[in-house]
Amino acid sequence: MTKVRVAGVGVTAFGSHPERTSRDLFADAGLTAVEDAGVAREDVEGVYYGNFMGELSEHQGHQGPLAAEALGVQAPATRYESACASSGVALRQAVRDVRNGEADVLVVGGAERMTNLSTAGSTEALAIAADELYEVRAGVTFPGAYAMMARAYFERFGGTREDLAHVAVKNHANAVGNDRAQYQREITVEAALDSPPVADPLHLYDACPVTDGASAVVLVSEEYAESHDLDAGVAITGTGQGGDRMALQDRADVATSPAATEAAEEAYADAGVSAGDVDLAEVHDCFTIAEVLAVESLGFFEHGEGIAAARDGVTTRDGDLPVNLSGGLKAKGHPVGATGTSQVAELTKLLRGDHVNSEHVPGARVGVAHNAGGTVASAVVHVLEGIAE
Amino acid sequence: MTDDEPVRDAGFDDFLDALADGDGYYVECANGHGSLPPRRVCPECGSADLTETPLPDAGEVATYTRVHVPAPSFADDAPYVTAVVDFGPVRLTGHVLADYEDVEVGTAVEPAVGETATRGERLVVFEPR
Ligand SMILES: [Zn+2]
């Protein structure tokens, strides 16, 4: 089994670009990644592309071939859809295909165009990641579902809106210098608490924004990297995926995210690392409560302890285990289909030392990316390791 | 099918019909797991030995929220209280017909079928006991 290296990464500016099509966004990110990798375009053997709501936001399904042609690549291309984990599952498939010798060079990424929809329209579009019959028709929105998880968490383990506000404050602070982030500004706990309610107990500043953007990474086999003398100092050493029942009502416990726990355990075992070896993480904080569930599922904290991690400074950039140094979904933005590979792109830059926040993690070797779909009915976790040259 | 005649979702709409008539049920497998229709096997254990079992008359709020920013289909309903209600073998999601301040985890409610204010569409509702 060959090893997998990240040869190049590319991410568009995340933000409000309502007029830009997914194909143009992906061209921007993908061409940057191919150039960063230094691979010949004709060596690309496939394009694995995540997209969630193309049919609803731009009346465009079947986006795989458009993704390949946007890069000028003559290779088969497939679109992957697992809600907010779309490019995460695309990445997992690509990692396995390179490992198994099916391909030496693959482009993996995703794109989402969202802000061309009204707030009501994007609320409706995001809701299709939930169970249409038993949740959406009962009025469950995406924030509403996470609000019910937050309520269940508070009820079982304790915690306050102020604890959650510290997650948002931390991630905004991390995004200040990240020129790809949607919100490059700090917020205060008071502002978060005073923001308007979206779905109690979650308020506007608990939620990630609606974002247009794309991301891409170029994966190569170790042999290809060596024979082509590529500067590919980051390896993907672990991959894991977990699943759960789709609707919250069908889960015995909605105060935890067992699918992510499953994904993390598989990814750690695959990489031969444990939670204690991890130096930094990018986690799926679509809502502040989601980061809490994530850091517990990743094994960094016991259940009930993750709520205090940001408040106590453990996961801030100067803490023992920085989480979401990119700004996270909260401040970097969440172009749904692009999020999974954007996390890996940010982690790669953090590990190889050319990220604006690399200075906060000198000597970091092991990073983890956690990408969740819906209310974590899908979860995918990847372990990245810097290769000592 | 015509444009103005909505097509039913078999299983789901039958379930709502029964609930509206006061004859709510859930799907029970040979091993006692509960689920909601349509099912051909139990999602927990795969058992194909399924029976329709009466839904308990009342359940308890397991978790809830008040939605302020709705989808277009609930534009005129917002703000509204949505809850997951635990009936023991199954849980069900719907609108609680009560003020947010009067709902807690553990509040006892009875299930019924109501209509949305926005489009008059059927939905599961819960009335406090
Ligand atoms: Zn069963």
Q: What's the whole-number average pLDDT of chain A?
A: 97
Q: In chain B, which residues have their Cβ closer than 8 Å to the Cβ of A210?
A: none
A250 interface with B at CB cutoff 8 Å: yes
Q: Work out the percent of chain A whose per-residue pLDDT is above 70.
A: 100
Tell me whether residue B12 is exposed, middle or buried, using C-beta atoms within 10 angstroms of its C-beta: 0 to 12, 13 to 18, 19 or more.
middle
Which of A119, A124, A138 lies nearest to residue B94, judging by beta carbons? A138
* Mean local confidence (pLDDT), B112-118: 98
Tell whether the model's pLDDT for residue B72 goes beyond 90.
yes
Q: What is the pLDDT of residue A63?
A: 98
Residues A351, A118: Cα–Cα separation, whole Å: 38
Q: Pick the range with the lowest mean pLDDT from A224-238, A242-256, A371-385, B2-16.
A: B2-16
Distance (Å) from the alpha carbon of B52 to chain A's nearest alpha carbon: 17
Number of other residues whose CB lies within 10 A of the CB of residue B8: 11
Contact A144 B62 (CB under 8 A): no
Tell whether the model's pLDDT for residue A261 goes beyond 70.
yes
Tell whether the model's pLDDT for residue B1 goes beyond 80.
no
B103 to A102, B3, B48: CA distances (angstroms): 56, 40, 37
In this prediction, the answer to ipTM > 0.90 reads yes
pLDDT digits (tens, 9 = 90+) for A294-335: 999 999 999 999 999 999 999 999 999 999 999 999 999 999
Give the up-direction half-sphere exposure of residue A187: CA atoms within 13 A in the CB hemisphere.
24
List the one residue out of A181, A169, A125, A127 whose CA is nearest residue A342. A181
* Assigned CATH for B57-129: 2.40.50
Residues of B contacting chain A (CB within 8 angstroms)? 9, 12, 35-36, 43, 62-75, 77, 80, 82-84, 90-95, 100, 105, 116, 121-124
Looking at residue B79, what DSSP letter applies?
A: S
Q: In chain B, which residues have their Cβ closer than 8 Å to the Cβ of A133?
A: 9, 12
A143 interface with B at CB cutoff 8 Å: yes
Q: What is the pLDDT of residue A389?
A: 58
* Mean local confidence (pLDDT), B89-116: 98
* Mean local confidence (pLDDT), B64-86: 97
Number of other residues whose CB lies within 10 A of the CB of residue A363: 6
Helices (H), chain B: 12-20
Contact A139 B74 (CB under 8 A): yes
Is the bond into B43 cis (omega within 30 degrees of 0)?
Answer: no
Q: In chain A, which residues have their Cβ closer than 8 Å to the Cβ of B64?
A: 148, 151
Residues B104, B61: Cα–Cα separation, whole Å: 7
pLDDT digits (tens, 9 = 90+) for A353-370: 999 999 999 999 999 999
Tell whether the model's pLDDT for residue B118 goes beyond 70.
yes
Contact A151 B71 (CB under 8 A): no
Q: Which CATH number fits domain A4-117+209-383: 3.30.2320.30, 3.40.47.10, 3.30.1330.80, 3.30.930.10?
A: 3.40.47.10
Q: Nearest-CA residue of chain B relative to A133? A: B12
Residue A184, token pair as written in the block: 């490059």
Tell me whether residue B23 is exposed, middle or buried, using C-beta atoms within 10 angstroms of its C-beta: 0 to 12, 13 to 18, 19 or more.
exposed
Number of other residues whose CB lies within 10 A of the CB of residue A161: 18
* Mean local confidence (pLDDT), A185-210: 98
Q: In this structure, which amino acid lies at residue A387?
A: I
Q: Where are the domains of chain B?
A: 1-55, 57-129
* Mean local confidence (pLDDT), B103-117: 98
Residue A310, token pair as written in the block: 């940001």
Contact B35 A133 (CB under 8 A): no
Q: How many CB pairs under 8 A join A and B?
A: 105
Tell whether the model's pLDDT for residue B3 goes beyond 80.
no
Q: Nearest-CA residue of chain A relative to B75? A: A120
Tell me whether residue A181 is exposed, middle or buried, using C-beta atoms within 10 angstroms of its C-beta: 0 to 12, 13 to 18, 19 or more.
buried
Which of A138, A143, A152 lies nearest to residue B123, judging by beta carbons? A138
Tell whether the model's pLDDT for residue A11 goes beyond 80.
yes
Q: What is the pLDDT of residue A204?
A: 98
pLDDT digits (tens, 9 = 90+) for B41-61: 999 999 999 999 999 999 999
Tell whether the model's pLDDT for residue B5 goes beyond 80.
no
Instruction: State the first-to-last Cα distance of chain A, in angstroms, to the nearest integer.
Output: 21
**What is the reported pTM?**
0.98
Which of B63, B71, B72 lies nearest to residue A151, judging by beta carbons? B63
Contact B92 A148 (CB under 8 A): no
Residues A195, A188: Cα–Cα separation, whole Å: 11
Q: Nearest-CA residue of chain A relative to B94? A: A138
What amino acid positions of A are annotated as catalytic residues?
Answer: 84, 334
* Mean local confidence (pLDDT), A189-207: 98
Name residue, tokens 């890069």: A71
Q: Residues near A329 by Cβ (< 8 Å), separated by ≥ 6?
A: A208, A284, A285, A286, A339
Strand B50-54: give its sheet, edge to edge: B34-35, B25-29, B50-54
Q: In chain B, which residues have their Cβ closer than 8 Å to the Cβ of A248?
A: 63, 84, 93
- DSSP three-state, residue A206: helix
Q: What distance in angstroms lies between residue A197's CA and the mean position of ligand 1's atoms? A: 39
Q: In this structure, which amino acid lies at residue A273?
A: V
pLDDT digits (tens, 9 = 90+) for A68-113: 999 999 999 999 999 999 999 999 999 999 999 999 999 999 999 9
Q: Most B CBs within 10 Å: which of A119, A126, A134, as the mutation test of the B interface?
A: A134
Q: Work out the percent of chain A whose per-residue pLDDT is above 90.
A: 98
pLDDT digits (tens, 9 = 90+) for A102-145: 999 999 999 999 999 999 899 899 999 999 999 999 999 999 99
pLDDT digits (tens, 9 = 90+) for A42-77: 999 999 999 999 999 999 999 999 999 999 999 999
Q: What is the pLDDT of residue B2?
A: 65
